[in-house]
Amino acid sequence: LICNSSMKLKAPVQSVSLEMDRSIMDINYFGPSTLTKGILPAMISRRSGHIVLLNSIQGRLAVPFRSSYAASKHAVQAFFDCLRAEVEEYGIIVSTISHTFINNSDPPPVVEVTQKPNAVVEYIQSHLTHGVKPSALANEIVQTVNRKRKEVLLAHPIPRVALYIRSLFPPFLFAVLAAGAKDSVLAEQIQ
């Protein structure tokens, strides 16, 4: 069973209605958990099966203006983490693949700069703007099932580092995220 559902929303917390919160939770959390509960008895009776959750990296690392989305992805991640431990004795494998956004389009055009760009900035921009290609995700799903991996992170180095910073130095990451949120709000007010 491969669970893949996603409803996204980018908005400040105070502007999101409870109805929208519920819709996002229905799709991103209750969809995969309900489907899994429906198929689970057959897998338990067979004493075999493999359940794969395609989840966002925001199920492990929340970013500003994505509160409802991140909350739903955290919830579904926790559900599948618990499920993994509960069904192992029945020979059922539970895998989660956490990825950055899926990029269905071609990479953005290269803009020529008159002065030499900072190498670090150039590297970050080249890795943040492209996301994960559908073919790379499809390949990872096949690899995860074949190798019976329990947890996979499909992301470029920057989000990976952010996850480690979240674990080791949370105040630092919170300050960086807050500064980014403040800059974003200011930029929108100027426009």
Catalytic sites, residue numbers? 69
User: How many angstroms separate the first and last alpha carbons of the chain?
Assistant: 46
For the record, the structure tokens of 184 come out as 């974003």
Q: What are phi and psi of 163, to 5 degrees?
A: -65, -40
Contact between 29 and 79 under an 8 Å Cβ cutoff? The reply is yes
Could you give the CA distance from residue 171 to residue 159 in angstroms, rounded to a whole number? 17
**Strand ranges for the chain from DSSP E:** 2-4, 49-56, 92-99, 151-154
Contact between 134 and 42 under an 8 Å Cβ cutoff? The reply is no
Q: Which residues pair with 99 in a beta bridge?
A: 56, 154
Beta-carbon count within 10 A of 165 CB = 16
For the record, the structure tokens of 165 come out as 């910073």
Spatial CA neighbour of 143 closest among 100, 104, 101, 135: 135
